[in-house]
Structure 1
Amino acid sequence: MVGLVESHGGRSDAGWWDRIRPHSLGWVTARDRDGVLVGFVNVAWDGGDHAFLIDTKTRGNWQRRGIGTEVVRRAAQGARAAGCEWLHVDFEPDLAPFYVDACGFRPTDAAGLIHLYSHE
């Protein structure tokens, strides 16, 4: 996971996975023939009707091959099978073609977001 995060331009954080895992409904991974992690999405949830996509990633040299779309599709199937009614995702505007067009999310004006490090 550290290699995938760093290949995606992120910073790996020691102990990250141990903190995240208890809040996850599950996760979907994709690996190449050698077992290298090339795609990932974590499905967090509220323990009831709502699931949330977190940390959707595809290794840079594996992007634009349908891997991200497939891990999101499987995450949605898993959330539905677990009894969730809603699957949420937050994303920057430049990722709308992926989440809206490729993955089938619908945009909504009825959501809010506070960036906690810049908001007082």
Structure 2
Amino acid sequence: MIEIVVDPFPRDEAMRALWLKAWGDAGPASFAPVLERSLGHVGAYDGDRLVGFVNVAWDGGIHAFILDTCVDTDYRRQGIALKLVEAAQLAAMARGAQWLHVDFEPGLEGFYRKCGFGPTAAGLMRLG
């Protein structure tokens, strides 16, 4: 049974293992500085194993941002990502956010629409 946990502050080793499975690289040297600055984050666990994650960044005010939604490739297509985003939404609301933003690649539009996000125009600039 998968357990959804708000603010679990997973160890770097657990995050790197998930990042490798989900993104194909190990991610940053340490995730702690990111998690410490976030409005919140949500982990999905199969026992002690981190199998999913989403970060909720924020502007310090009323805007929160979904980042890094990911699920271990062995656990996909089970509704885990939907549960992660739902828990992130509830946590953001409880912590005072009035808007929840997400940027995504075109192939993920169906998923994020299913999560309840509406369409909006946005821009993106690559720095460096």
Give me the TM-score of the superposition, normalised by structure 2: 0.83
Contact persistence 2:54–2:88 (CA under 8 A): yes
Structure 2: how far apart are the matches of 1:116 and 1:67? Answer: 32
What's the RMSD between the two structures over aligned residues? 1.1
Distance 1:23 1:115, change over 3 A: same
Provide the residue aligned with 1:115 in structure 2. Answer: 126
Match of 1:80 in 2: 93
Determine whether 1:52 maps to 2:60: no
Distance 1:108 1:85 in 2: 16
Aligned residues: 113
8 Å contact kept, 2:35–2:41: no
- Unpaired segments of 5 or more residues in structure 1? none
CA distance in 2, matches of 1:44, 1:37: 20
* Greater CA drift, 2-11 or 88-97: 2-11
Gaps of 5+ in 2: 1-14
Query: Which residue type is aligned with residue 124 of structure 2?
Result: L
Q: Distance in 1 between matches of 2:23 and 2:67?
A: 16
TM-score, length of structure 1 as denominator length: 0.88
Q: Identity of aligned pairs, percent?
A: 49
| Mapping of residues 100-111 of structure 1, within 5 Å | 100=113, 102-109=114-121, 111=122
Structure 1 residue ranges, 4+ long, deviating more than 6 angstroms after superposition: none
- State the match for 1:4 in structure 2: 18
